[in-house]
Amino acid sequence: MDAKGFFEGLPWWVKWVVIPVVALALFGGLIASVIGFLVGVLFKVLLFVLIVGAVIFLVRKFTSASSSSRGDW
């Protein structure tokens, strides 16, 4: 028996309401933990990019300022 034949005789509300609610009840914690993990990783990646960008900006700013001030001596 294939899945199409299995769901064919069921009313629409079982296919579109009951089955998703049961799936969320059973796997909701797993789905929430996976989404939380992905959001945490995305936040850490963005924070890493921000910090590396700030360090590069500061290094370039101070090295260009120090090299231009050496020319005054």
Cα 54 from Cα 50, distance rounded (Å): 6
How many domains, in total, are found in the chain? 1
33 φ/ψ sector (left φ>0, alpha ψ -120 to 50, else beta): alpha
45 φ/ψ sector (left φ>0, alpha ψ -120 to 50, else beta): alpha
Q: pLDDT-based confidence at 64, cuts 50/70/90?
A: confident
Which strand (E) or helix (H) includes residue 51? helix 19-70
For the question of whether the overall pTM of this predicted structure is more than 0.85, the answer is no
* 1 within domain boundaries: no
What is the C-alpha radius of gyration for the chain, rounded to an integer number of angstroms?
28
* 6 within domain boundaries: no
The residue-averaged pLDDT of 20-49 equals 96
* 7 within domain boundaries: no
* 72 within domain boundaries: no
